[in-house]
């Protein structure tokens, strides 16, 4: 597996990471524990050393799962987790909204360290910006955790360019995580230029459009009642039908390159900047291998231009998240 550096932070990770959120049941029933551990360890054996989780996934269960799976190879991996949602620290009950008060950040760090079974969090993201707490205070709290040796690097998720700059001035930001894919290119306007200027890495989540860019979903697809996509506007039947033109375009490129649509979607992201590290998630060993093979696919300048021209002529429909969730982002 090729390695990439997340900006100028010195943090080097595999060119593709593994997003672990889906193992906890976000896309339907949770993956059985033994199977989930096997998938994580298979990813490591294939060269993945960058694993993404959060206290909110579960809550708490995803961190415990990842900690157990990676315990034998702790010194060989980079573990990213997140703070920032209002969750009862004892019961795991979601209280709604966000909480990035400094004392809460520090409490979450201690709890995450315990659940993961590690001595230091490699990359600690603010999961969502808290409008009630100045980002300078957030960055300051993480800076203290770094000075105490409990965190190694600071990250932000779904933050605006202005927020990134303010945080970076207090404590250097190693990486920013936001949704980015052929289906949603919002970060290109302001986020990517800001990150390039400041020397910050970028970690796209949902690089396969929550499964849409694999080509396995169409307007007739139905989702399990526990699947969050049942609440996402762009997965409504009419939107899916309208957006199939995107999938057909990706399929055409894939056929010409001898690849799958998912591999083309990931290869496209990797081709955008050398400091971009997507974190596709999966619950399937076959899909894991398929995704990882994307690092060997080279899209030429001509390929990339063809894709850009095609995208510019498409009117994609549906918001990427429910309205209430979108309000919690800085994008």
Name the region of 171 (left: φ>0; alpha: ψ -120 to 50; beta: rest).
beta
Distance CA 248, CA 268 (A): 16
Question: In angstroms, what CA-CA distances link 331 with 37, 138, 179, 328?
Answer: 34, 19, 10, 9
Tens digit of each residue's pLDDT (9 = 90 or more) over 165-224: 999 999 999 999 999 999 999 999 999 999 999 999 999 999 999 999 999 998 888 888
| H or E, element range at 97 | strand 94-98
Start-end of H helices in 71-128? 102-116
CB 113 within 8 A of CB 119: yes
| C-alpha triplet 93, 97, 21: angle, nearest 5° | 65
Does residue 330 register a pLDDT over 80?
Answer: no
Question: In angstroms, what CA-CA distances link 189 with 17, 157, 185, 324?
Answer: 24, 16, 8, 23
pLDDT band with cut points at 50, 70 and 90 for residue 19: very high
Answer yes or no: is 69 within a domain: yes
Answer yes or no: is 331 within a domain: no
How much is the pLDDT for 95? Answer: 86
Does residue 116 register a pLDDT over 80?
Answer: yes
Mean pLDDT of 2-26: 96
How much is the pLDDT for 38? Answer: 98
What is the domain count for the chain?
1
Answer yes or no: is 113 within a domain: yes
CB 317 within 8 A of CB 238: yes
Domain that holds residue 135: 3-326
CB 175 within 8 A of CB 155: yes
Domain with 41 in it: what CATH number? 3.20.20.100
How much is the pLDDT for 317? Answer: 93
Residue 218 structure tokens: 């169409």
Dihedral (Cα; 3, 6, 12, 18), 10-degree rounding: -70
Distance CA 197, CA 256 (A): 35
Q: DSSP string of 230-293? A: GG-GGGSHHHHHHHHHHHHHHHHHHHHHT--HHHHHHHHHHHH-TTB------S-HHHHHHHHG
pLDDT band with cut points at 50, 70 and 90 for residue 226: confident
Answer yes or no: is 292 within a domain: yes
CB 88 within 8 A of CB 127: no
Distance CA 250, CA 262 (A): 9
Is 125 annotated as catalytic? no
CB 189 within 8 A of CB 162: no
Does residue 331 register a pLDDT over 80?
Answer: no
Please name the residues in contact with 52: beta carbons below 8 A apart, sequence gap of 6 or more. Answer: 17, 18, 19, 20, 21, 80, 81, 177, 203, 205, 279
- State the pTM of this model: 0.96
Q: What percent of the chain has pLDDT over 90?
A: 89
The size of the chain, in residues, is 331
First to last CA, the chain: 32
| Mean residue pLDDT across the chain | 96
How much is the pLDDT for 209? Answer: 95
SS (H, E, C) 161-207: HHHHHHHHHHCCEEEEEEECCCCCCHHHCCHHHHHHHHCEEEEEECC
Catalytic pick among 27, 57, 125, 180:
57
pLDDT band with cut points at 50, 70 and 90 for residue 324: confident
């Amino acid at each position: 597996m090729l390695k990439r550096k997340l900006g100028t932070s010195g943090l080097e990770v595999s060119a593709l990471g593994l997003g672990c959120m889906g193992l906890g049941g976000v896309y339907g029933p949770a993956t059985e524990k033994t199977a989930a551990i096997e998938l994580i360890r298979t990813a490591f054996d294939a060269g993945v050393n960058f694993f993404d989780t959060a206290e909110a996934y579960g809550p708490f269960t995803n961190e415990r799962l990842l900690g157990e799976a990676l315990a034998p190879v702790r010194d060989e991996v980079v573990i990213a987790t997140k703070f920032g949602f209002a969750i009862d620290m004892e019961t795991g009950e979601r209280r709604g909204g966000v909480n990035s008060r400094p004392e809460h950040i520090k409490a979450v760090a201690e709890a995450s360290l315990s659940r993961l079974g590690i001595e230091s969090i490699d990359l600690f993201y603010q999961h969502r910006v808290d409008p009630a707490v100045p980002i300078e205070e957030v960055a300051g709290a993480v800076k203290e955790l770094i000075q105490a040796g409990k965190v190694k690097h600071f990250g932000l998720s779904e933050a605006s360019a202005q927020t990134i700059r303010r945080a970076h001035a207090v404590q250097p930001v190693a990486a920013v995580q936001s949704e980015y894919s052929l289906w949603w290119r919002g970060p290109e306007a302001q986020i990517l230029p800001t990150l390039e200027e400041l020397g910050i890495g970028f970690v796209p989540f949902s690089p396969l459009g929550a499964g849409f860019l694999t080509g396995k979903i169409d307007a007739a697809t139905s989702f399990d009642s526990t699947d969050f996509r049942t609440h996402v506007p762009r997965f409504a039947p009419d939107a899916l039908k309208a957006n199939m033109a995107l999938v057909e375009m990706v399929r055409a490129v894939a056929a010409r390159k001898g690849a799958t649509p998912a591999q083309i979607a990931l290869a496209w992201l990797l081709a955008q900047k050398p400091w971009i590290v997507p974190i596709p998630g999966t619950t399937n060993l076959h899909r894991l291998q398929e995704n990882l093979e994307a690092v060997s696919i080279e899209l030429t300048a001509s390929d990339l231009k063809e894709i850009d021209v095609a995208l510019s002529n498409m009117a994609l429909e549906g918001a990427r998240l429910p309205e209430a969730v979108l309000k919690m982002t800085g994008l």
